[in-house]
Amino acid sequence: MIMVKKGSDKLILLMVILQAVLVFSCREVPVPKPKGYFRIDLPEKHYSSFNDDGARPDIPLRFEYPSYGTISSPSGGPNGPGWFNIDFPRNKARIYLTYKDVKGDLASLIEQTYTMNVKNHITKADAINETVIYNKENRISGILYDLKGNTATAVQFYVTDSTLHYLRGSLYFESEPNSDSLAPVIDFFRQDIIHLIETLKWK
């Protein structure tokens, strides 16, 4: 018969407790899964011509716009001639467009655009990146604004020939701003805005 001393009993008990702690500490702790977003199906890129037939004399320009979008306000917008939109109901998106005659007041038009489309969103934006637009051949210059963060609008722009023509635009979604879930859609329509600018010609 093996005799166990009292001191040994304490040592054995301590080893059992230590072993139990080690076993239970190795168990995986459940961690909640990160929030996911629904997959967004986007259409293939196809473009149509706007105003080739001169149906909008109040908008003396032409460009290519996505064929999966529709031009609204065909006879002038609620604020007078020169207001029109490209609607994307499937994605609850809209590009608001406004044409203005410069009339020797280019600085005022640029200031209005900055105030309406950029300055009003500064408090919500994490950052605002500006890309200079310049196309000497088509007499186009301007700025493309990318607003980062949960802003109501993510992409803004204005283009002009500096003497006669001025066009501004802004991309909006009919949903609560969420830059993470909307990121692929924003990038998709940003490409369409760039295509619009690249194909723009004044009349």
Among residues 156, 166, 157, the alpha carbon closest in space to that of 107 is found at: 166
DSSP 125: -
CATH of domain 47-202: 3.40.1000
Q: Which of 22 and 166 is assigned the larger pLDDT? A: 166
Is the Cβ–Cβ distance between 38 and 180 less than 8 Å?
Answer: no
DSSP 80: B
- pLDDT (tens digit, 9 = 90+) per residue, 136-152? 999 999 999 998 888 88
Mean of pLDDT values over 127-136: 94
What are the residue ranges spanned by the domains of the chain? 47-202
**pLDDT bucket at 131, cuts 50 / 70 / 90:** very high
DSSP 140: E
